[in-house]
Chain A
């Protein structure tokens, strides 16, 4: 099966500073792939390049289609959901309004209600807080809101930028359970950027390790987890 998302020799940066020096990676349909590496390795930049947040050279294709000249809105419309650093929750709006924006692009209005029910089943706390401003949610609840919105968007691929950042270990575990659910029951492919390499490798089938803008190591997660040298030099545990 052809890859859903394919990056080849992607180079980009901010102004004069080059951050990615030719990154190649691929995510197959229904896969969970981890993108690991230290601070400043270019993980977030890779995700931003995919959804058109900055200009890049090289090639990025999604479902066989080049993303070269597409704006962020059009890339999202192809079926890529991106939960950015800071979770992309719209704190000026209520929880319910955030969820409604998840179905903003959808035209199949009949199945909304069912999806809403399902989201509230997965995240009962969001039903309780529906009418509250999203800014009143805790970090973990905001992350749940972001994931709930992804579920409503029904994407083919979701890009997650450090979903564990700043969350208590218990919360991290439940967040990752939800990611697994999204992947398994909805068949959504996941590209997961994480600092927490241990938990990311447990979830993903395949992993890439970035080092200063290049892929230093790649392979099945189970192998990367097992190799002492890789763990020591790149993953820090």
Chain B
């Protein structure tokens, strides 16, 4: 029982990382109706920026917000420069553009920082603390806390502020929003900035565990896809819950299902994606694809 609880806590920490990236995917999915395949690479690049800042002697807790601001600005810029010219293009065009963006960002990271894995600092100690008989590491609890705070902030922004309201309006109903005076194109850029910043959080939290190198996020993004699909691709809350479920499931499967540990964990993510698509295509929090006309 004790070990089971430990696996759950550790799963929640992994889940927090998945949830952040899944939320980034959902934010952009809502804004343009497709998944941003470059999301993981953008997160990885932001993490390299954080590493540069920390190597220059910046405190982790200062480097974190600075990195998120840079990631936000980068997301806005990418939307303005790369996405905006093809905003109204068919979905397939946009898919190719985001795939190209992923390759570009990955290559740029390799060119600038090399392919040798870098260790990434963590502000949390590896010591453990006893919670109800289960041993949880400060590292895991810290990851849960940081991703939790970020997700709550995003929730408050989207649900409690006028800006968030305009963002949601613009992403779901661009034409009707324009008629209310909302600058839809800028809202989409803002959505990209927000997604980029949230994604960067997942990169920063994953790096101490996975070691930072240009391909670091390539498996993480598959788990994030699984989380977003499980939550119902359009729902920010679903992405978070989905992320936690995927994190815990993968962790438990790795620990208790013979043969899954290590290499086959990714297969669990695919199994979740397939199961959701077959059994409940709209996910846990998704709306059915019917609309009143």
User: Taking beta carbons and an 8 Å cutoff, which residues of A are in contact with B?
Assistant: 51, 53, 71-73, 76-77, 81-84, 86, 88-93, 97, 100-102, 104-105, 135, 149, 153
Contact = CB atoms under 8 A, between A and B. Distances in A.
Nearest to A106: B181
B118 to A, nearest CB: 42
A84 B292 CA distance: 16
Given A100-B162, A104-B162, A90 B177 contact: yes
B162 A72 contact: no
B182 interface: yes
Given A92-B172, A104-B162, A73 B181 contact: yes
Given A89-B176, A92-B173, A97 B165 contact: yes
B180 A93 contact: no
B183 interface: yes
Contacts of A100: 162, 165
Contacts of B173: 88, 90-92
Nearest to A88: B176
Given A90-B173, A100-B162, A76 B180 contact: yes
A93 B181 contact: no
A62 to B, nearest CB: 14
B183 to A, nearest CB: 5
Contact of A101 (B182, B184, B291): B182
Nearest to B183: A73
Contacts of B177: 90, 101
Across chains A and B, which 3 residue pairs bring their CB atoms closest together, nearest first?
Answer: A92-B172, A72-B178, A76-B181
B180 A102 contact: yes
Contact of B182 (A73, A81, A97, A153): A73
Given A84-B176, A88-B176, A91-B291, A73 B184 contact: yes
Interface in B155-206: 162, 165-166, 168-169, 172-173, 175-184
Nearest to B291: A91
Nearest to A91: B292
Contacts of A83: 179
A93 to B, nearest CB: 6
Contacts of A53: 175
B172 A104 contact: no
A90 B173 CA distance: 6
B169 A82 contact: no
Interface string B34-50: 00000000000000000
Contacts of B184: 73
Contact of A153 (B175, B180, B293): B180
A135 B290 CA distance: 11
